[in-house]
Amino acid sequence: MGNGNINRDFMQGEKLLWSGRPAQGFFLTSRDRLLIPFSLLWGGFANVLAFAAVIGDGPVSTKLWLSLFALMGLYIIAGRFFVDAAARARTEYMVTDRRVIIRRSGFFRNLYTGGHELLPSISLEEGTRGRGTIKFGVRSNRRMSGWTPALANEPQLLGIDNAQHVYSILQKARSDCRRSE
């Protein structure tokens, strides 16, 4: 996925200020401190129940339901990391003098463009070694966004390098847009 894919979305005269990609591969967020223990407990319990039901003499419908819970348990234990990594591998970010552009291709295809003057807020969550996440707007109530951060409903630049620098670029671009109104 090169920048050539996204340049077609530029408006006439729009200037690129920064482009980047989210962290690749295995990626933990601050929410994982709670989600990992929960997923191990819930998923482990669901898998033990499903195993007991499958080898037992219970009705087929119970075996099927518990098998579905076991699959959900496997997803929240490990599968979510693979889905998240796959979505991030197909995501690219651009900040122009007018907008933030977030493009995700593949199965979870999505395009977000938001003008700097329309962004309600910008927040920076700094991580280690200059990596961080910049979120735009109010936090969503969509529950799956915690389990699979790359698919969060709220627009964000997830796990980017030099996050403080990008945050400064966004603040300046936002300020420049307000002055030109």
Predicted pLDDT of residue 179: 72
Predicted pLDDT of residue 7: 62
Q: Look up the domain containing 174 and give its range.
A: 14-24+92-180
Copy the structure tokens of residue 76: 């929240």
Query: In this structure, is residue 8 part of a structural domain?
Result: no
- Please, which pLDDT band fits residue 181 given cuts at 50, 70 and 90? low
DSSP 8-class letter at 79: I
CATH code of the domain containing 140? 2.30.29
Please check whether residues 121 and 157 belong to one and the same domain. yes
Predicted pLDDT of residue 3: 46
Residue with tokens 């990008």: 166
> Is the pLDDT assigned to residue 140 strictly greater than 60?
no
> Is the pLDDT assigned to residue 103 strictly greater than 90?
yes
Reference 89, options 72, 108, 117; nearest CA is: 108
Please check whether residues 125 and 162 belong to one and the same domain. yes
Total tally of structural domains belonging to the chain: 2
Please check whether residues 20 and 52 belong to one and the same domain. no
Regarding pTM above 0.75, the answer is yes
For CA atoms 104, 105, 107, 110, the dihedral sign is positive
How many Å apart are CA 160 and CA 145, to the nearest integer?
Answer: 18
Query: In this structure, is residue 100 part of a structural domain?
Result: yes
Q: Is 128 exposed, middle or buried (0-12, 13-18, 19+ CB in 10 A)?
A: exposed
Q: Is 17 exposed, middle or buried (0-12, 13-18, 19+ CB in 10 A)?
A: middle
Q: pLDDT tens digit string along 59-101? A: 888 888 888 989 999 999 999 999 999 999 999 999 999 999 9
For CA atoms 122, 127, 130, 133, the dihedral sign is negative
Residue 13 region, left (φ>0) first, then alpha (ψ -120 to 50), else beta?
A: left
Predicted pLDDT of residue 94: 94
Please check whether residues 98 and 176 belong to one and the same domain. yes
Please check whether residues 98 and 139 belong to one and the same domain. yes
Q: pLDDT tens digit string along 145-177? A: 568 888 888 889 999 999 999 999 999 988 887
